[in-house]
Amino acid sequence: MKDWLPTLQTNTPEEGYELAVKLARVAVGMTQPDAEIRKKLRPDYANDFDALIASSQVVATHFATVAAANGYWRDTE
């Protein structure tokens, strides 16, 4: 996964949010690199409200980081 994140710069908040989701997904993949194990575990957390809320919190944290890196998109408006 060399050079998979060349920049945190995005053109819009929507692109920034998509990047935040990607950051969260990559972190899960790096934490558990075995795709079969992730697939096997998915039903456990897919129906766990606490796990889903925690996932949203992780994305929100990543989005805050991306937004800050982009000056909250003030420069483009």
Residue type at position 38: R
Q: Where are the alpha helices (DSSP H) in 1-77?
A: 13-31, 35-46, 49-69
Task: Give the model's confidence band at 1: pLDDT under 50 very low, under 70 low, under 90 confident, else very high.
Answer: low
Question: What confidence tier does 33 reach under pLDDT thresholds 50, 70, 90?
Answer: very high
Answer whether residue 34 is part of any domain: yes
Residue 32 counted as domain residue: yes
- Residue 33: domain span: 13-76
Residue 37 lies in a domain: yes
Residue 2's pLDDT is what? 75
Domain annotation covers residue 19? yes
Task: Give the pTM.
Answer: 0.85
How many domains does the chain fold into?
A: 1
Contacts of 70 (CB under 8 A, 6+ apart): 8, 9, 10, 16
Q: In whole angstroms, what is the distance from residue 52 CA to residue 8 CA?
A: 25
Please check whether residue 8 lies inside any domain of the structure: no
33 belongs to a structural domain: yes
Question: Does a structural domain hold residue 50?
Answer: yes
How confident is the model over 35-48, as pLDDT tens digits?
Answer: 999 999 999 999 99
**What is d(CA 7, CA 51) in angstroms, rounded to the nearest whole number?**
28
Sign of CA dihedral 4, 41, 63, 31: negative
